[in-house]
Amino acid sequence: MAQILAPHYLVNYINESAVSKATLQQPRLLVMAFLGGVYIALGALLALVVAGGATTLAAQNPGLDKLLFGAVFPVGFIAVVLTGADLFTSNCATQMVPLYRRQVKLLEVVRVWGVSYAGNLVGALFAALVFAYLTGLLDAHQPWAAYARKLAEHKVHQPFHVVFIKGMLANMLVCVAAWQGYSAKDTLGRMVGIWAPVMAFVALGMEHSIANLFFIPAAMLAGADIGLGQFVIDNLLPATLGNIVGGALLIGLPYAWLYSESDGKVDQPAEIDLP
């Protein structure tokens, strides 16, 4: 029988982890976030190559192609969680627990978010330049280069409110994935718990700001007709704001309230047996 941690213990575990992260020295958090940005970018690159290379499938059954794209993308997020790297979008939810319990200040939360975002940005851009562009994976003759350009151009030609709402749903699912990953007691269980929600948001075409820090710059390197201002204003800004709302207000705070410290701290993992 499989075992998972009970929700109350899980929220306390997340609280302790978030408090610890808020006390990290800035260089350490920055390096963790850099690695997180690289891992997310590598998952995104894999998704581009696999789904973008399936040109016949994309033409004949675009739904299955989207599913394929979503199915391989979570490799990066799984690496983030299992190796202890850092991701801005997950922090949007996890930092809300100690903030609600008044164990950290709002300024400390903003610092974690800012350093995490900066590190993710550098990591994603590094991967786009070094691992995607300089390796030749984005050469014009590659089928996934055209796929990447089409994907990025769609992302920057949506109304602000649409990107914002897609950002909300994307990070709700990302944070659910993180929650489920933390709840499992074995590696396979954590991987499956992470994979399903991340696959869903990617296959649905939602907007994840850190993933877009790879997708759109990589497409620009591949020749997409997208300006820096257009990228930032039309996609990155609304996606980031939506990610914050989806993670902090729709996942982090509700769970912090549902399993508040006043209910009593769980010292030992409470387990639930699953068939």
Looking at residue 4, its pLDDT comes to: 67
Taking alpha carbons only, the member of 109, 132, 122 closest to residue 31 is 122
d(CA 33, CA 108): 16
CA gap 156, 51 in Å, rounded: 20
Contact 233, 265 (CB under 8 A): no
Q: Mean pLDDT across the stretch 219-228?
A: 96
* Cβ neighbours of 77 (radius 10 Å): 30
Whole-angstrom distance, CA of residue 237 vs CA of residue 231: 9
Return d(Cα 195, Cα 265) in angstroms, integer: 29
- At how many degrees (to 10) do helices 237-244 and 160-183 cross? 40
State the average pLDDT over residues 91-116: 97
In angstroms and rounded to an integer, the radius of gyration of the C-alpha atoms of the chain is 19
> 229-244 pLDDT, tens per residue?
999 999 999 999 999 9
Which residue ranges form the domains of the chain, and what is each CATH number?
A: 2-260 (1.20.1080.10)
What average pLDDT score do residues 42-47 get?
98
CB atoms within 10 A of CB 23: 10
* SS3 of the chain: CEEEECHHHHHHHHHHHHHHHHCCCHHHHHHHHHHHHHHHHHHHHHHHHHHHHCHHHHHHCHHHHHHHHHHHCHHHHHHHHHHCCCCHHHHHHHCHHHHHCCCCCHHHHHHHHHHHHHHHHHHHHHHHHHHHHCCCCCCCCCHHHHHHHHHHHHHCCCCHHHHHHHHHHHHHHHHHHHHHHHHECCHHHHHHHHHHHHHHHHHCCCCCHHHHHHHHHHHHHCCCCCCHHHHHHHHHHHHHHHHHHHHHHHHHHHHHHHCCHHHCCCCCCCEEEEC
Confidence category of residue 185, pLDDT binned at 50, 70, 90: confident
Top pLDDT among 56 and 69 is at 69
Q: What is the pLDDT of residue 195?
A: 97
pTM value? 0.92
**pLDDT for 46:** 97
Residue 90 to residue 230: CA distance in whole angstroms: 26
Q: Are 138 and 48 in contact (CB under 8 A)?
A: no
**Higher per-residue confidence, 262 vs 82:** 82
With 60 as the cut, is the pLDDT of residue 272 above it? Answer: no
pLDDT, position 261 = 64
Mean model confidence pLDDT for the chain? 92
Give the model confidence (pLDDT) of 80-96 as tens digits.
999 999 999 999 999 99
Q: Which of 126, 206, 137 is nearest to 170 (CA)?
A: 206
In the predicted structure, residue 1 carries a pLDDT above the cut 80? no
